[in-house]
């Protein structure tokens, strides 16, 4: 019996596109196998349907009519009192009601901004009512109406001063 030996073929130089195509085929095979492994390993897991999650909507108030920071802050604090309720005694009640200073602190972005807004509110209060401090004046009020009016006057004052 005669055996014929074939001469070894010369290696063919692959182009970049050829090498990328081969790598892509190899990766497709590996990804398909990994997906199958995940399916097999997680087949026993039963997932209960997720409960419906409701996100409470924030009160939609009209945009602030003021462009200056302190005037806009005082307007937001006024809206906060209208939305959450007004408290005569406490900065924050358990049910969410707030006093004048509590509303300002809730809406302010910094302690300094809250302090500046309180100064303007006190000035607006002192122009129309006899008061030494915001808390003492807040306690004297019989309803929320004067408090809201004081916020309006303070916001207008801040707007006039462009602060």
Q: Is residue 48 in some structural domain? A: no
Residue-range definition of the domain harbouring residue 149: 69-161
Distance CA 36, CA 133 (A): 72
Q: Which residue has the tokens 């009601």?
A: 97
Q: Token digits for 130?
A: 């006899």
DSSP category for residue 129: S
Q: Is residue 3 in some structural domain? A: no
The total of structural domains in the chain comes to: 1
Distance CA 93, CA 119 (A): 23
Q: Is residue 120 in some structural domain? A: yes
CB atoms within 10 A of CB 121: 27
Q: Is residue 1 in some structural domain? A: no
Phi/psi zone of residue 96: left (φ > 0), alpha (ψ -120 to 50 degrees), beta? left
Per-residue pLDDT, 149: 96
Per-residue pLDDT, 11: 76
Per-residue pLDDT, 65: 85
Q: Is residue 116 in some structural domain? A: yes
pLDDT tens digits, one per residue of 21-72: 999 999 999 999 998 888 888 877 776 666 666 656 555 556 778 889 999 9
* Residue with more model confidence, 97 or 60: 97
Enter the pTM of the model. 0.62
Per-residue pLDDT, 158: 95
Q: Is residue 17 in some structural domain? A: no
CB atoms within 10 A of CB 1: 2
Q: Is residue 44 in some structural domain? A: no
Q: Is residue 58 in some structural domain? A: no
């Amino acid at each position: 019996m005669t055996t014929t030996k074939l001469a070894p073929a010369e290696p063919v130089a692959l182009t970049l596109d050829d090498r990328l195509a081969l790598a892509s085929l190899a990766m497709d095979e590996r990804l398909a196998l990994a997906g199958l492994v995940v399916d097999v390993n997680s087949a026993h897991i039963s997932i209960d349907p997720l409960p419906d999650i409701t996100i409470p909507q924030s009160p939609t108030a009209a945009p602030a009519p003021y462009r200056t920071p302190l005037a806009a802050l005082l307007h937001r604090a006024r809206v906060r009192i209208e939305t959450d309720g007004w408290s005569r005694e406490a900065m924050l009640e358990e049910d969410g009601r707030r006093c004048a200073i509590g509303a300002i602190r809730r809406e302010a972005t910094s302690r300094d901004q809250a302090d500046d807004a309180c100064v303007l509110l006190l000035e607006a209060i002192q122009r129309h009512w006899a008061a030494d401090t915001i808390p003492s004046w807040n306690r004297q009020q019989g309803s929320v109406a004067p408090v809201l009016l004081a916020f309006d006057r303070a916001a207008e004052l801040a707007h006039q001063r462009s602060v």
